Amino acid sequence: MATVPGIDVSYWNAGIDWPKVRATGQRFVFVKATEGETYTDPTFADNWSGAKSAGLLRGAYCFFHPKLDPKKQATRFINAVKAVNDNGELPSVLDLEADDGQPKNKIIAAAKVWLDAVEKAFGRKPIIYSGFYFLQDHFSEAGGGPPAWARDYALWMPQYPTQFSPGMNPSLPRGWFKWTFWQYTDKGAVNGVNANVDLNLFSGTLEELYKFAGAQPPNQKPKTHTVAAGDTFESIANQYGVTVRELVSANHQLLKAGDKLTVPVAVAIPQEGGDSSGSAGGGSTSTGKTYTVKPGDMLSVIAVKFGTTVSAIASLNTITNINNISVGQVLKIP
């Protein structure tokens, strides 16, 4: 099962170094734009432009309050996105997780008003972000399933397994048959973000992600970098927003000052999972490989050695600080 990694951010992740984020293998981001009728995230514009400059696919989201006027919430969101003169590549997102003490029929009706208004403004159906129990308890009709129209919308689910393993899937509530994005932890560690960050997966290949976004992969020529004293593959990768694996694959040489390196066009490295029948509460955690950390090792070098990513190793080993590994530490390799 192919998946593509990404993150979602808000005010709590201010000051992001986006090229470093891109260099970890992340390929998309959802950015908080608004909440309710009156709040616009003060970091939205900076996160929106920063993610674009690093080449990430972007979608904006609104934290929705069913007790408030859905038309006013939609207008707030639409105006915030239009104010940055860039609608992004991914569809907009309705963040549906607060019931505000409202009955389910009102929640469903209010959500549809927002969805219709945003679709009319941007010309494509938004994504619904919501969890298993919210959809089951607050977004279902007689018989236990969602309203029939809801199945026309892509689903982004938050569901956090005790220990995530590649190849797992979130459990779907009754009446939902497919997930498009999965937020599998809210305690991720990603280089370039100075706080815990939500980690997500897109269900499909990179090509399918670009198709879903209605975007074309970047069409750029490789760059050339002249190696300076103190340069490492990791520092150069962070500078240009490519992964260490991409950089090393394009330059089979040791680094010497004055050498010229080819910096490849940034492309995603889909994560290949195993059994696609797992659920968030189950699935095998065995990877079949382990590696014992040696003096001088960094996660980026280990990731290149085994053809994986830093974020994948960190997730599998519950590493919160990717710059802090110990000699003798035994790592599971995805």
Could you tell me if 248 and 301 are in contact, meaning their C-beta atoms sit under 8 angstroms apart?
Answer: no
Q: Is 171 exposed, middle or buried (0-12, 13-18, 19+ CB in 10 A)?
A: middle
Using DSSP bridges, classify how beta strands 93-95 and 2-9 pair: parallel, antiparallel or unpaired: unpaired
Q: How far apart are CA 123 and CA 77, in angstroms?
A: 15
How far is CA 321 from each of CA 95, 168, 213, rounded to the nearest angstrom?
Answer: 29, 23, 31
Q: How far apart are CA 3 and CA 312, in angstroms?
A: 12
DSSP string, 83-126: HTT---SSPPEEE----TT--HHHHHHHHHHHHHHHHHHHSSPP
Q: Is 49 exposed, middle or buried (0-12, 13-18, 19+ CB in 10 A)?
A: middle
Catalytic residue among 8, 35, 41, 198: 8
**Neighbouring-strand partners of residue 8:** 30, 198
Q: Which ranges of 139-242 does DSSP label H, i.e. alpha helix?
A: 206-213, 233-240
Using DSSP bridges, classify how beta strands 2-9 and 197-203 pair: parallel, antiparallel or unpaired: antiparallel
Which helix (H) or strand (E) is 29 found in, with range?
A: strand 28-35
Catalytic residue among 97, 100, 137, 186: 97
Whether 8 sits among the annotated catalytic residues: the reply is: yes
Report the chain's terminal Cα–Cα distance, integer Å: 14
Closest of 171, 144, 175 to residue 159, by C-alpha: 171
Which helix (H) or strand (E) is 205 found in, with range?
A: none
Name the DSSP class of 133.
H
Whether 41 sits among the annotated catalytic residues: the reply is: no
Q: How far apart are CA 117 and CA 324, in angstroms?
A: 47
Residues annotated as part of the active site? 8, 97
